[in-house]
Amino acid sequence: MEWFRGQIIGQGSSATVCLASSTTSAAVFAVKSAEFSQSQHLQTEQKILSTLSSPYIVTYKGFDITKEKNKLMFNLFMEYMPHGTLSNHGGRLREPVIARYTEQVLKGLEYLHSRGLVHCDIKGSNILVGEGNCVKIADFGLTKRLNESAGVPLAGTPAFMSPEAVRGEEQGYPCDVWGIGCTVIEMATGCSPWPKVKDPVSMLYHVGYSGEVPEIPRFLSEEAKDFLEKCLRRNPRERWSASQLLNHPFLGEFSSKDGDCVVGESNNNSSSSWSPTSILDQGFWNSVEESELPIAAEGEFVQTCCVHSASDRIKKLALCSGGPNWNWESENWITTRGNNNGKGEGSCSCCCIGGSIIASNSASDSWCEVEESNNSNNNNNVIIINSNCRISRCCYEEFKCREVRVEVDSVNFDIMQPLTLDIL
């Protein structure tokens, strides 16, 4: 097949995924490439993927070997899944979405297990999201046949590996079920199933020997919690199989009532449910703690930003809250404090608090904060012209803000001092 390589759409520890298209048709597909000398996992994936045919497994389209920049490259062709991986969607998915995706992944696992295969690396970044709200299992570089798993070296991503696999005892079908439980937690929280364990070596020890299981998010329904409990039993013989889990009420409840779900729809029926109203509202922050998600194909580990800083936390909250409406022509704006006289002047009453002057316009009752002037001739009078302070009714009703200061769209000062607006 004649083809040419497009832009990079994914990068792993040993391979790169690019868009590709045929030179003889309009077909678009994905090509996963690695240097031939380092393509052992990719060749294993090609051999396994070429034998599979399931609507819940990414479709195999062939392979070839090319020479690029004086290097031999092994290229694996697969169907293109336009919505990336589950991990790309940031977590905090609604339960119907989680149930829909989980059902499809379990059907893919049921198919693999029926053919004597153990995936060994089930996690959000190995689940691809396509059109029509479908998800498919991908990345078979660590996949083993069940009768070959005994004595085979440790394989997988530590945060998603089962205790028995970490201890090197066995890596059978139950290890994929454990991975399903960890992936559901990842979809629900957007974080590693072990957010408090950061070091990869400590992760392996903790998973294998602590006697603990990943913490089940408190905000999930009782059905979802029970589903996770069936997946995350430390004794592999007590874990439910993929076939048993497909009959669990958690999946049946949502698949029967909600049908198809929207790709990437966040857990946000009511934004106020997930938007913290004060620093004491701990429910949201419990699920966005720092974590490290290791990539284990070649024993390398990279830090993935779950939420590492205050700015990242705010960004994640914003992603869960939807976009604001800043259309000033809309009728959904309420004037909270404003100058009813159009262009008017008023001498402001001022007081000094913490090195800053807090000024209030007597005509408009609008508040702002200006830095204290070092000019001894400054009489601390500030003229505010055409100050207008409004809040969107739709934002207020949707996000249930407890406190709103002001948004000022036009302010003029007769003393040219740096201006700091106190805006929430």
Distance (Å, whole) CA 348 – CA 22: 71
CATH code where residue 277 lies: 1.10.510.10
Strand ranges, E, within 58-198: 60-68, 71-78, 117-118, 127-129, 135-137, 144-145
Regarding whether 176 and 282 lie in a shared domain, the answer is yes
Asked whether residue 300 is assigned to any structural domain, the reply reads: yes
Contacts of 329 (CB under 8 A, 6+ apart): none
Average pLDDT over residues 263-292: 41
Could you give the C-alpha distances from 353 to 213, 251, 358, 369, in angstroms and in order? 51, 57, 7, 10
Asked whether residue 265 is assigned to any structural domain, the reply reads: yes
Regarding whether 184 and 69 lie in a shared domain, the answer is no
| 32 assigned to a ligand binding site | yes
pLDDT tens column, 135-189: 999 999 999 998 775 556 778 899 999 999 999 888 999 999 999 999 999 999 9
* Domain end residue (candidates: 19, 43, 78): 78
Number of structural domains the chain divides into:
3
Q: Is the pLDDT of residue 254 over 90?
A: no
Regarding whether 337 and 205 lie in a shared domain, the answer is no
- Give phi and psi for 266, each to the nearest 5: -85, 170
Regarding whether 244 and 172 lie in a shared domain, the answer is yes
Band the pLDDT of 199: cuts 50, 70, 90: confident
Regarding whether 53 and 121 lie in a shared domain, the answer is no
Asked whether residue 369 is assigned to any structural domain, the reply reads: yes
Regarding whether 394 and 246 lie in a shared domain, the answer is no
Distance (Å, whole) CA 396 – CA 404: 9
Regarding whether 155 and 17 lie in a shared domain, the answer is no
Regarding whether 45 and 121 lie in a shared domain, the answer is no
Distance (Å, whole) CA 13 – CA 142: 13
Cβ of 261: how many Cβ atoms within 10 Å?
19
Asked whether residue 328 is assigned to any structural domain, the reply reads: no
* Domain end residue (candidates: 78, 110, 133): 78
Find where tokens 């979802």 sit: 224
117-145 exposure pattern, b = at least 16 Cβ within 10 A, e = fewer: bbbbbbbbbbbbbbeebbbbbbbbbbbbe
Asked whether residue 326 is assigned to any structural domain, the reply reads: no
Regarding whether 282 and 151 lie in a shared domain, the answer is yes
Band the pLDDT of 337: cuts 50, 70, 90: low
pLDDT tens column, 280-325: 444 444 444 333 333 333 333 333 334 445 666 665 566 555 555 6
Which SS3 state, helix, strand or coil, does residue 299 take? coil
For residue 290, the surrounding DSSP H or E stretch is none
Distance (Å, whole) CA 7 – CA 320: 29
pLDDT recorded at residue 132: 82
Could you give the C-alpha distances from 270 to 98, 266, 317, 320, in angstroms and in order? 17, 11, 13, 10
* Domain end residue (candidates: 271, 286, 321): 321
Asked whether residue 133 is assigned to any structural domain, the reply reads: yes
Annotated active-site positions, please? 121
Q: Structural domain of residue 18, as residue ranges? A: 3-78
Band the pLDDT of 65: cuts 50, 70, 90: very high
> What angle do the packed helices 173-189 and 222-231 form, to 10 degrees?
150
Per DSSP, 358 falls in state E
Asked whether residue 240 is assigned to any structural domain, the reply reads: yes
Regarding whether 295 and 359 lie in a shared domain, the answer is no
Average pLDDT, the chain: 73
Which SS3 state, helix, strand or coil, does residue 208 take? helix
Regarding whether 264 and 404 lie in a shared domain, the answer is no
Which SS3 state, helix, strand or coil, does residue 323 take? coil
Regarding whether 257 and 186 lie in a shared domain, the answer is yes
Question: What single-letter amino acid sits at 18?
Answer: C
